[in-house]
Structure 1
């Protein structure tokens, strides 16, 4: 697997430097010089081409959500994970709506941050389990066209639909593999393929689309 280039964007210099030093010990992560503000973050994203950006919501006078939106506009392939002290569900929903694929508290371990970075690079993501249900509910409530998405789902193979149904059921990759009698690597491949076909950035977005199209936990095609 190719090393993952990671850009940390945080105006708390000591925190950013400590996190960068810890993540740099991971053999598969290449940690770029941290950025403390929007201007520096956008400049480094353009010149250093990170695959994953770890971004705080507050950057001094700058809004991390605005930086997120500008990053996604200029670099559609970049994967953004929010790492912040904030925990308001509304802010999480806004971040997901603007293209973030993960949300982590600064109190989480560096080991979890590294795992989420790897997941993000593979078109996965992370939302804290204790708020995931509420985030999903609000994303669904904000949908202007409930019941849409059937045409996109029609592009999936039967196996990809099975994997998506397992995701809607809340199963982990290991649990999906066990239910379907597949290897974890095969489940990952199916997940990556279905996300690409749906033009989704994260599993949460795919689950939201599936539920808008009528899929529900505990149901089978």
Structure 2
């Protein structure tokens, strides 16, 4: 079993301790000491080497976005999942732009939090389905396709392009596997390979790049 090291950054002690205790019951999750502020979060990120950071965006007078920026500068490989009471699409877009791979409401179940942590560790992610369309629209409106985006997509194998098209169509891994007649593990491998080739960190980034480069829902590779 591959263990995932998880750092919770939240200044609400009761919530953080309860979440830490609950996630600690998952056999594959190693829960690190909780960080209640930016200074502590950065110190633990450096010394404890988490795979995934579960980050609240409100840390007293400080902003969790500052943690996101600074952690991503020092540890670009770390995966950050936002877990917050905030419900603001613009802030969600800012977090994704700055490197977050997931966004969860504090009203979600601990089971879903654990599931998203695992997905993040495997280079996946999670955006609430009801917000995903608007998040993508705003990201796409910010800029045109990066220079060389089409050339990057050309480096993908035909099967990787099919998987990417399915992602653009909004399918999850199980649905992609069913459409393409593959196993879920094979879909995961193709997803990891295409993310590595595109030098991206999450499925959302891959979908955004693909759409900026001209791929659209409903097309067929």
Q: Once superposed, which parts of structure 1, at least 4 consecutive aligned residues long, lie more than 4 Å away?
A: 144-148
- Cα distance in 2 between the residues matched to 1:67 and 1:57: 9
Please report how far the alpha carbon of residue 151 of structure 1 lies from its aligned counterpart in structure 2 after TM superposition.
1.3
Q: Which residue of 2 aligns with 1:33?
A: 33
Q: Which residue of 2 aligns with 1:57?
A: 57
Contact 1:177–1:184 (CA under 8 A) maintained in structure 2: yes
Please report how far the alpha carbon of residue 149 of structure 1 lies from its aligned counterpart in structure 2 after TM superposition.
1.2
Q: Which residue of 2 aligns with 1:202?
A: 202
Contact 2:145–2:213 (CA under 8 A) maintained in structure 1: no
Please report how far the alpha carbon of residue 92 of structure 1 lies from its aligned counterpart in structure 2 after TM superposition.
0.2
What is the root-mean-square deviation in Å for CA atoms of aligned residues? 1.1
- Cα distance in 1 between the residues matched to 2:38 and 2:193: 33
Residues 92-103 of structure 1 aligned to structure 2 (within 5 Å): 92-103=92-103
Q: Which residue of 1 aligns with 2:181?
A: 181
Please report how far the alpha carbon of residue 2 of structure 1 lies from its aligned counterpart in structure 2 after TM superposition.
1.5
Please report how far the alpha carbon of residue 142 of structure 1 lies from its aligned counterpart in structure 2 after TM superposition.
0.5
- Cα distance in 1 between the residues matched to 2:111 and 2:209: 30
Please report how far the alpha carbon of residue 155 of structure 1 lies from its aligned counterpart in structure 2 after TM superposition.
1.3
* Residues 192, 49 of structure 1: alpha-carbon distance in 2 compared, 3 angstrom cutoff: same
Contact 1:152–1:198 (CA under 8 A) maintained in structure 2: yes
TM-score (norm: length of structure 1) = 0.98
SS at match of 2:125: coil
- Cα distance in 1 between the residues matched to 2:100 and 2:140: 17
SS at match of 1:40: helix
Contact 1:147–1:212 (CA under 8 A) maintained in structure 2: no
How many residues matched?
A: 221
Contact 2:80–2:100 (CA under 8 A) maintained in structure 1: yes
List alignment gaps of at least 5 residues for structure 2: none
- Cα distance in 1 between the residues matched to 2:147 and 2:177: 28
Q: Is 1:152 matched up with 2:152?
A: yes
TM-score (norm: length of structure 2) = 0.98
Q: Which residue of 2 aligns with 1:19?
A: 19
Q: Which residue of 2 aligns with 1:69?
A: 69
Residues 108-187 of structure 1 aligned to structure 2 (within 5 Å): 108-145=108-145, 149-187=149-187
